[in-house]
Amino acid sequence: MSQGEEQSAHLVFGGVDVVELAERYGTPLYITDESIIRANFRKYKTAFKAVENDIYFAVKANGNLAILRILASEGAGADVFSGGELHLVKLAGIPLEKILFNGNSKSEEELRTAVESQVRVSVDSLDELETLSAVAGEMGKEAEIAIRVNPDVSPQVNPKIATGLRESKFGIPYYEILSTYEEAAKLPNIAIKGIHCHIGSQILDVSVYREATEKMMNLVEGLHGRGIELEFVDLGGGLGISYQKEKERAPTPKDLAGAILPVFEAKLNSLGITPKLILEPGRSLVGPASILVSKVNAVKLSPYRACGDMGGAHDAGARAEPVTGQSPTASRNFVAIDAGFNLLIRPVMYDAYHEVVVANKLNEPASELYTVVGPICESGDIIARDRMLPEVKRGDLVAILDVGAYGFSMGSQYNGRPRCAEVLVCDGSVDLIRSEESVEDLIRNQVIPERLKL
């Protein structure tokens, strides 16, 4: 650095210089700030303190054991969706009585494990209910259940993550719920404990929760009238976070409580019952708590400016001309980083927006338009489209923000890329919470038949 040149400011996360972390642990690197998770969990507990409640973390959002331990130490329960997730939360020390085994397609083995472990099961179909009764019978045990309601409400979210629509694969239709409970009450080895729904994810308008709560509490009333009393009402997760800080204001747990609690409490009072309220947040607890730091392998500046559509330069007959100055319609300048949809699939799968910053150039003005792409051999491997960033050079570090939910947990080894390391930061301290995989992990469990061996 020449004399007089100002040192570029570095991104600091959880009290730690991200550039130093990248030097120490390599890239790509998931970095999670413990204090954000704790603060987010406590916001839920404060917002819902008027009623008896439990917050079950949706483990699919992030299955890292250290992160589960943090949540367990705050008193979280867990929503698990597979035998594997059940295994994780047991290891993390989440109490069995605070675990709900969800899922629309559970194997008999998973049902057996749930009954064996004495965790409650959210039953997703009549078929599953009958299987569970038989499985519990064979084991000489009782299965404690809730029934997953499809409440037929339509949050304004990406259709891939709306789960309470009439046509969704999840749950039993609203109008069949009371008869299904009556059926359950007759079945041997089944103990009815609760009712469950989950209407979708990344919900930014909490009014749908009021609608869902009204429907769910009407069912609770219908069951009460039939002599079926519930110990809990689980209204699922789904509260959104603001991925685009300037455009979206995400509702807080307090806003959520404002939509749910008046309806919930009114029904409790009118019926004189006291079921516990359960919520299953995933994203809103861990989403903002992690960043993914990635190194720039190459910068490819476009010499062309296309007319209209940015990809138009490749179309037959499209006029393309060399860029003369900065233009918002400049054809793509690519910043190729070492993390792609193998480590963060959300932009590709849901057109999700994640903010990106150049972690080693925080104080430099955003002067160029770039599209940030990953290393995967697919044109769709785009992490962030058309972003104004400081001038980027090979070796710079790009941090992708708000990746703590459905980030690493949806990662893969596609294109022969071992998954990266994860570190936990907290008020300046740093701990490795997952080592990076090696090429050995790519071949783990693969078997070459004798006749094909070298």
Active-site residues: which are they? 377
Beta bridge partners of 389: 368
Total site size for ligand LLP, rule CB under 6 A:
23
The one among 98, 106, 112, 283 contacting ligand LLP by CB under 6 A: 283
Residues 297/336, Cβ–Cβ less than 8 Å: yes
Question: Nearest Cα to 100, choosing from 57, 42, 133?
Answer: 57
> Are 177 and 219 in contact, with CB atoms under 8 Å apart?
yes
* Residues β-bridged to residue 368: 389
- Among 58, 292, 382, 424, the residue binding ligand LLP under the rule CB under 6 A is 58
Q: Can you tell me which of 201, 302, 360, 371 binds ligand LLP, judged by CB under 6 A?
A: 201
Q: How far is the CB of 248 from ligand LLP (least distance, A)?
A: 14
- CB of 71 closer than 8 Å to CB of 405: no
Nearest approach in angstroms of CB 167 to ligand LLP is 16
Q: Which of 128, 280, 396, 422 binds ligand LLP (CB under 6 A)?
A: 280
Instruction: Provide the minimum distance between the beta carbon of 253 and ligand LLP in the complex, in angstroms, as a whole number.
Output: 11
Cα gap 277→164, rounded to integer Å:
19
Give the separation between CA 234 and CA 232, rounded to whole angstroms. Answer: 6
Q: Which part of the chain contacts ligand LLP (CB under 6 A), choosing from 55-63, 243-251, 364-372, 438-446?
A: 55-63
Q: Are 272 and 250 in contact (CB under 8 A)?
A: no
Tell me which of 79, 128, 144, 152 binds ligand LLP, using CB under 6 A. 79
> Please, which residue, 133 or 202, has the CB nearer to ligand LLP?
202
DSSP 80-135: E-SHHHHHHHHHTT--GGGEEE--SS--HHHHHHHHHHT-EEEE-SHHHHHHHHHH
**Does 61 help bind ligand LLP (rule: CB under 6 A)?**
yes
Asked if 85 touches ligand LLP (CB under 6 A), the answer is no
Contact status: 161 vs ligand LLP (CB under 6 A): yes
Rounded CA-CA distance 149/105 in Å is 15
Which C-beta is closer to ligand LLP: that of 34 or that of 85? 85
Residue 62: count of CB within 10 angstroms of its CB: 28
Judged by CB under 6 A, the chain residues 105 through 134 that form the site for ligand LLP are none
238 lies in the site for ligand LLP, by CB under 6 A: yes
Is the Cβ of residue 136 or residue 405 nearer to ligand LLP in the bound state?
Answer: 405
Tell me how far, at minimum, the Cβ of 427 lies from ligand LLP, in Å: 26
**Integer angstrom CA distances of residue 242 from 14, 284, 287, 288, 416:** 19, 10, 10, 9, 33
Of 11 and 219, nearer to ligand LLP (C-beta) is 219
Reported as type and span, the H/E element at residue 147 is strand 143-150
Touching ligand LLP, residues 241-260 (CB under 6 A): none
Per CB under 6 A, 164 contacts ligand LLP = no
Nearest by Cα to 250 from 239, 235, 236, 237:
239
Q: Which of 44, 181, 406, 408 binds ligand LLP (CB under 6 A)?
A: 406
The one-character DSSP state at 450 is G
Q: Which stretch binds ligand LLP (CB under 6 A): 235-243, 257-265, 366-374, 426-434?
A: 235-243
Contacts to ligand LLP by CB under 6 A: 58, 60-61, 79, 102, 161, 163, 198, 201-202, 236-239, 280-284, 346, 350, 405-406
